[in-house]
Amino acid sequence: MELHPDRVSAWIEHLPPGTYSLRYDVKAVTPGEYLRLPPHAFAVYFPVMHSIGPAALFRVGPGE
């Protein structure tokens, strides 16, 4: 897995058919509204197999 400022990249050699989910945590340091970009998964050597999830808006309130 590689962590980048704008994305996370991960690889797997074999993924059996099924439904999968990915969970991650973020650390909010500045109040405001932010857009979480849609996740995108694809097979490198078979690009017709891919999935795109929804984008989401989230709000960070002032700290205590």
pTM of the entire structure?
A: 0.55
Task: Look up tokens 């995108």; give the residue.
Answer: 40
pLDDT digits (tens, 9 = 90+) for 3-60: 888 777 888 888 888 888 877 777 878 899 998 888 888 888 887 888 888 999 989 9
Is the distance from CB of 21 to CB of 15 less than 8 angstroms? no
Above 60 in pLDDT, residue 64? no
pLDDT of residue 38: 87
CA distances from 3 to 6, 16, 25, 49, 62 (A): 8, 25, 13, 24, 27
Rg (CA), the chain: 15
